[in-house]
Structure 1
Amino acid sequence: MALPKQPAATFAIWRFAADTGQLLGEDVAYLDPLAWETDGTTRYIVPPCATTVKPPAAAPAHGKGHCFDAATGKWKTVSDYSTASVWDTTTALPGTPPRFGDALPANLTLFAPPTTAAGQVVQWSGKDWALVADHRGEVWYSQESGLQVAIVAVGDIPAGLTQTARPDVTHAWDSVTGNWVVDDLLREQHQVQYAQEELARRTATASERITTLADAVALEMATDAEAAALTDWKRYRVLLSRVPKQEMYPAAIDWPALPA
């Protein structure tokens, strides 16, 4: 009687990751010699995390991978970006790829950001990278008020700003020449304001001295010099009151001399 033919010593199997089911590659299972020798049973020793079910022959598409579903005993196709180069769309820096089986998060992209030049940053538009002007940290000036404006956001410079500082408050922005020019009305307003503030300051000084000296005279405590000074300061305050009547006021003022 002829003995049965011994089966092949090995049988093809495919290994998969224990945690994700990811296909790791083809391997072989070896024939169980004891089972064969005992009762002629053909049995192969299949290690854990391996299957004799052959995965699909076609290679998975980009971003996909073969995964063994132990519950169904079948292979399925899942997302696979675990070895891909990815970039964070919020920082434009290399990111950490997702685990096998996980979809690509919204904050990651497979597209590498472009190289930036000085004064540029990259921003994610939702579909691709865009080069955006970056003027953060620069100092500009309002063409309307002349006040300093700090740029704190990326993007083009807002309208109505210039990098040229306003020379002084008598200048206004001329959109025709693109520069600051002397404005007659502003100059007059500034002259009036300065004259009024300076007159108020000098008058207050005079009034303070007059009050003290007048008290000394009223209390018969004043020296001859203090009595004379009281008259000088009163005269000085009267002369100040007549400053607005000067012919060149407020453009040119002839201020009375302070009392000695």
Structure 2
Amino acid sequence: MSNYSTDIETAELGENGLSKKAGWITVYHVNQYTGEYQSASMEYLMLGVGLPAHSYPDKPELPPAGQALRRTVDGKSWEFLPDYRGQTVYSTEMRQEQTVTQFGELPDNVTPLKPESEFDTWDGKKWVTDTQAQQAAESHAAQQAAQQALTSRLAVANARILTLSDALDLDMATDEEKAALTKWKTYRVMLNRIDVSTAPDIDWPPVPQK
């Protein structure tokens, strides 16, 4: 029998988790906080020595794409969990977009389904557009735009009427300016009769040419 051996001594663990035979062993390391599998390494165990912290001797089966590999909470086996990390999800309460940073099932208050508008609400399975709120908002926006347009048009009319009135007050107005003043005053009256609540269906009066 030879005095030499080319075999690598393999460690053997006892039921207490300590080495009952010194040697090398492959161990599988996990994240100490999440239990997610990190890496494998060869470790030499002296007699009566245990594995490094957060390491296990049983080789895990690799998970399919879209799954994360984790040690179970009790530390007795490996398990697969959904892995949505890097994907975009949306809050079912505020519609806010966010990126998933942790593996595991998605929280109940997020969904990978994207809302179509700011008026969408989550019904538990899908986004539903609140058409009444949407119409109210659109109507409000249209009224605001109409009010701004009305204010702008009145400013133009007031400025033109003021200039023409000065000429009339000073008895300097031409017949053409007198006719223009009447048109601009008529235009201003018509503007003041505009009801912006009917926006966007507003029939704006034509602007006088002079």
For residue 122 of structure 1, report the CA deviation from its aligned partner.
0.9
Aligned-residue CA RMSD (Å): 4.1
Q: Are the aligned partners of 1:210 and 1:230 in contact in 2 as well (CA < 8 Å)?
A: yes
Give the unaligned 5+ runs of structure 2.
5-10, 168-175
1:195 aligns with 2:109: no
Q: Which residue of 2 aligns with 1:88?
A: 29
Equivalence map 1:78-227=2 (5 Å): 80=22, 83-90=24-31, 92-101=37-46, 103-126=50-73, 127=75, 128-175=77-124, 178-206=125-153, 209=156, 213=160
Cα 1:228–1:218 change in 2 (3 A) is closer
Give CA deviations for 1:51-85 in whole Å, capped at 9, x if unaligned: xxxxxxxxx8525267xxxxxxxxxxxxx4x6211
1:64 aligns with 2:19: yes
**Structure 1 CA distance, aligned partners of 2:105 and 2:120?**
26
SS at match of 1:191: helix
Equivalence map 1:12-51=2 (5 Å): none
Which residue type is aligned with residue 253 of structure 1?
A: D
**Structure 2 CA distance, aligned partners of 1:160 and 1:117?**
26
Total equivalences in the alignment: 181
Structure index of larger Rg: 1
SS at match of 1:83: strand
For residue 257 of structure 1, report the CA deviation from its aligned partner.
5.4
Which residue type is aligned with residue 19 of structure 2?
A: K
Which residue type is aligned with residue 108 of structure 1?
A: S
SS at match of 1:159: coil
**Structure 1 CA distance, aligned partners of 2:60 and 2:205?**
72
Q: Are the aligned partners of 1:142 and 1:162 in contact in 2 as well (CA < 8 Å)?
A: yes
Give CA deviations for 1:109-154 in whole Å, capped at 9, x if unaligned: 2122321112101122350322111112223333344443432221
Counting aligned pairs with the same residue, the percent is: 15
- Scaled by the length of structure 2, the TM-score of the pair is 0.61
Q: Are the aligned partners of 1:139 and 1:148 in contact in 2 as well (CA < 8 Å)?
A: yes
- Scaled by the length of structure 1, the TM-score of the pair is 0.51
**Structure 2 CA distance, aligned partners of 1:202 and 1:131?**
61
For residue 216 of structure 1, report the CA deviation from its aligned partner.
5.6
Give the unaligned 5+ runs of structure 1.
1-25, 28-59, 67-79
Which residue type is aligned with residue 51 of structure 2?
A: L
Q: Are the aligned partners of 1:206 and 1:236 in contact in 2 as well (CA < 8 Å)?
A: no
Cα 1:174–1:93 change in 2 (3 A) is closer
**Structure 2 CA distance, aligned partners of 1:147 and 1:258?**
45
SS at match of 1:187: helix
Which residue type is aligned with residue 238 of structure 1?
A: N
